[in-house]
């Protein structure tokens, strides 16, 4: 749970990241959220080589070693507690609805005075529809606004009853060409585009987000196809273009996922404005 988030919706918000996602986007900044299993991160730049983590491990493992075997780790957290430099971190921890609700009650004063609320992100939050629904109900009881950020790749029937309880949806559209989408994310885009239409047809306010990447989707044909789709099927939705960044690179190293990291080019300010200009031609407003 991320406190004082100001980029994921109106006002001051608490962003809750739920683990699990059916896509494997090559530019993903949260690779630890691909699966729901616990994971142990090792931040090498913080390590003082005191070996207290290895001394604390019940399995006889050295979490700082290059040959650390996560298959043998029970993710009990003893090594994390033993590290004086906070070089170890557990990710994808389990939490109950009441624990989340208690956190939101503490943050409620910030929501109330800023017009903020809660934004669910991931991973893909709709991968956990039962838990998500219970937390949304807790938000409703507290009078807290609910926004959701989704990649759109989820089972509609399992999630459709949640939709009327959501105040705004950030909906990612990576690419309009199905095969290009599959090449860069591992899945086609038919179900994603269909889910976007279904959400829009329920009259839920929507902002389409595009992670803009030079080698992937920064071409005129794709941007015009996206704008035309929005104009025809998502009328009234706004657009937000997110320039590619490599802020997640350290995560791939910390979670020993370096082989899954792919580097791309970040669009220039001029390229960003050019892309926004295409959407303006289709009378699609920028997200404020």
Answer whether 171's CB lies under 8 Å from 201's CB.
Answer: no
pTM equals: 0.93
Beta bridge partners of 223: none
CATH of domain 39-91: 3.30.70.20
Q: Which pLDDT value is given to residue 76? A: 95
Burial 35-72 (b: 16+ CB within 10 A, else e): eeebbbbbbeeebeeeebbbebbeeebebbeeebeeee
Name, in order, each residue with C-beta under 8 angstroms of 183's C-beta and a sequence gap of 6 or more.
none
d(CA 260, CA 245): 16
**88-91 and 39-42 as β-strands: parallel, antiparallel, unpaired?**
antiparallel
**Beta strand extents in 11-126 (DSSP E only):** 13-18, 39-42, 88-91, 117-122
Q: Which of 78, 23, 38, 26 is nearest to 55 (CA)?
A: 78
Share of the chain above pLDDT 70, in %: 100
> What Rg do the C-alpha atoms of the chain give, in angstroms?
20
What are the residue boundaries of the structural domains of the chain, listed by start? Answer: 2-35+95-281, 39-91
Answer whether 122's CB lies under 8 Å from 93's CB.
Answer: no
Q: How do residues 58-108 score in pLDDT, each as one tens digit? A: 999 999 999 999 999 999 999 999 999 999 999 999 999 999 999 888 888
Q: How do residues 190-222 score in pLDDT, each as one tens digit? A: 999 999 999 999 999 999 999 999 999 999 999
Helices (H), the chain: 52-56, 78-82, 97-114, 129-142, 156-159, 178-185, 190-201, 220-233, 249-254, 269-281
* Dihedrals phi, psi of 167, to nearest 5 degrees: -85, -25
User: Averaged over 20-26, what is the pLDDT?
Assistant: 97
Query: At the topology level of CATH, where does 2-35+95-281 sit?
Result: TIM Barrel (3.20.20)
């Amino acid at each position: 749970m991320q406190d004082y988030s100001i980029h994921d919706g109106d006002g001051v918000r608490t962003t809750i990241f739920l683990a699990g996602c059916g896509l494997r986007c090559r530019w993903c900044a949260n690779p630890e959220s691909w699966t729901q299993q616990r994971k142990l991160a090792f931040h090498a730049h913080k390590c003082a080589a005191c070996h207290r983590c290895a001394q604390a491990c019940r399995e006889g493992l050295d979490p700082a070693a290059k040959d650390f075997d996560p298959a043998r780790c029970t993710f009990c957290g003893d090594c994390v507690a033993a590290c004086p430099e906070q070089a170890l971190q557990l990710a994808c921890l389990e939490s109950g609805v009441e624990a989340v609700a208690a956190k939101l009650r503490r943050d409620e004063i910030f929501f109330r005075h800023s017009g903020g609320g809660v934004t669910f992100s991931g991973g893909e939050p709709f991968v956990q529809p039962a838990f998500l629904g219970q937390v949304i109900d807790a938000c409703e009881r507290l009078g807290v606004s609910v926004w959701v950020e989704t990649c759109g790749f989820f089972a509609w029937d399992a999630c459709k009853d949640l939709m009327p309880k959501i105040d705004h949806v950030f909906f990612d559209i990576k690419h309009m060409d199905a095969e290009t989408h599959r090449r860069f994310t591992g899945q086609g885009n038919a179900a994603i585009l269909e889910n976007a239409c279904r959400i829009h047809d329920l009259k839920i306010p929507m902002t389409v987000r595009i992670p803009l990447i030079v080698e992937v989707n920064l071409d005129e044909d794709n941007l015009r196809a996206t704008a035309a789709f929005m104009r025809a099927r998502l009328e009234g939705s706004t657009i937000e273009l997110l320039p590619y960044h490599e802020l997640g690179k350290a995560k791939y190293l910390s979670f020993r996922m370096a082989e899954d990291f792919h580097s791309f080019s970040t669009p220039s300010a001029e390229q960003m404005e050019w892309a926004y200009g295409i959407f303006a031609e289709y009378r699609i407003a920028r997200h404020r």
